[in-house]
């Protein structure tokens, strides 16, 4: 009986070992399948990550370009606004300057001490003060070198005593505000 019991135990042990081996093989096969599935999933996830990183880089690039474009637009709009104001200012002054010129001409002929002459001289002084307060300055021309950026030559003269390209006569005063010429001086230049 002991033999039978031992045989039965051996068979049970063998069956148990076979069962354990089968279980181990099944586990290995499942692990292998899981590894395969995990590797496929990892590859899929890695591909998705790379795709999302590319999309993120593209969107960041678009955002930076859009921000730069907006900044350029804002600066350009500001410059246009300043230029429009400057142009409108110059246009308004061009309407006033002929009046100032006429007052200056009248003041040149007001040589007596009459009340009329005093009034014209006061008016000429007020016009000069108004231009100064507005930041408008007269372009110096008489006895200066001719500068086509500031002067407009409408006549030439021959004078051996004066250096070439020197302004000898001013027909109409020129004015500028800061560096912007509002009206060029009309002048006579020596050759």
The phi and psi torsions of 111 (rounded to 5 degrees) equal -100, -20
Give me the pLDDT at residue 135, please. 87
- 45-134: CATH architecture: Alpha-Beta Complex (3.90)
Q: What is the pLDDT of residue 108?
A: 86
CA separation for the pair 145, 125 (Å, rounded): 28
Q: 189: alpha, beta or left, given left = phi > 0 and alpha = psi -120 to 50?
A: beta
**pTM reported for the whole predicted model:** 0.58
| CATH 3.90.20 placement within the chain | 45-134
In angstroms, the CA 167 to CA 29 distance is 105
Residue spans in the chain of domains classed CATH 2.30.22.10: 137-191
pLDDT attached to residue 3: 55
- Measured CA to CA, the distance from residue 12 to residue 164 in angstroms comes to 129
Q: What is the pLDDT of residue 24?
A: 64
Report the distance separating Cα 170 and Cα 177, nearest Å.
Answer: 19
Pick the CATH number of 137-191 from 2.30.22.10, 2.40.50.140, 2.40.30.10, 1.10.3720.10: 2.30.22.10
- Residue where the block lists tokens 């002991």: 2
CB under 8 Å, gap of 24 or more: what pairs does 124-130 form?
Answer: 127/99, 127/100, 127/103
Per-residue pLDDT of the chain (191 residues; tens, 9 = 90+): 555 566 666 666 666 666 666 666 655 555 555 565 678 888 888 889 999 999 999 999 999 999 999 999 999 999 999 888 888 888 888 899 999 999 988 988 888 888 888 898 999 999 999 999 988 998 888 888 888 888 888 888 887 777 888 888 889 999 998 888 888 998 988 87
Give the per-residue pLDDT at 180.
86
Smallest Cα–Cα separation from 181: which of 127, 139, 146, 131?
139
């Amino acid at each position: 009986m002991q033999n039978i019991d031992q045989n039965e135990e051996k068979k049970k042990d063998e069956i148990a070992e076979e069962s354990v081996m089968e279980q181990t093989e099944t586990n290995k096969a499942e692990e292998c399948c899981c590894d395969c599935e995990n590797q496929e999933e990892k590859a899929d996830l890695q591909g998705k990550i790379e795709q999302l990183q590319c999309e993120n880089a593209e969107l960041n690039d678009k955002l930076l370009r859009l921000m730069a474009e907006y900044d350029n637009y804002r600066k350009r709009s500001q410059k246009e606004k300043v230029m429009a104001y400057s142009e409108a200012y110059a246009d308004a002054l061009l309407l006033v300057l002929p009046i100032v010129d006429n007052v200056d001409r009248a003041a040149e002929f007001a040589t007596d001490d009459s009340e009329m002459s005093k009034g014209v001289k006061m008016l000429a002084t007020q016009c000069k003060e108004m231009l100064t307060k507005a930041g408008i300055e007269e372009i110096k021309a008489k006895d200066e070198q001719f500068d086509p950026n500031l002067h407009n030559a409408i006549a030439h003269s021959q004078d051996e005593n004066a250096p070439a390209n020197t302004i000898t006569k001013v027909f109409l005063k020129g004015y500028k505000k800061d560096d912007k010429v509002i009206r060029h001086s009309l002048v006579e230049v020596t050759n």
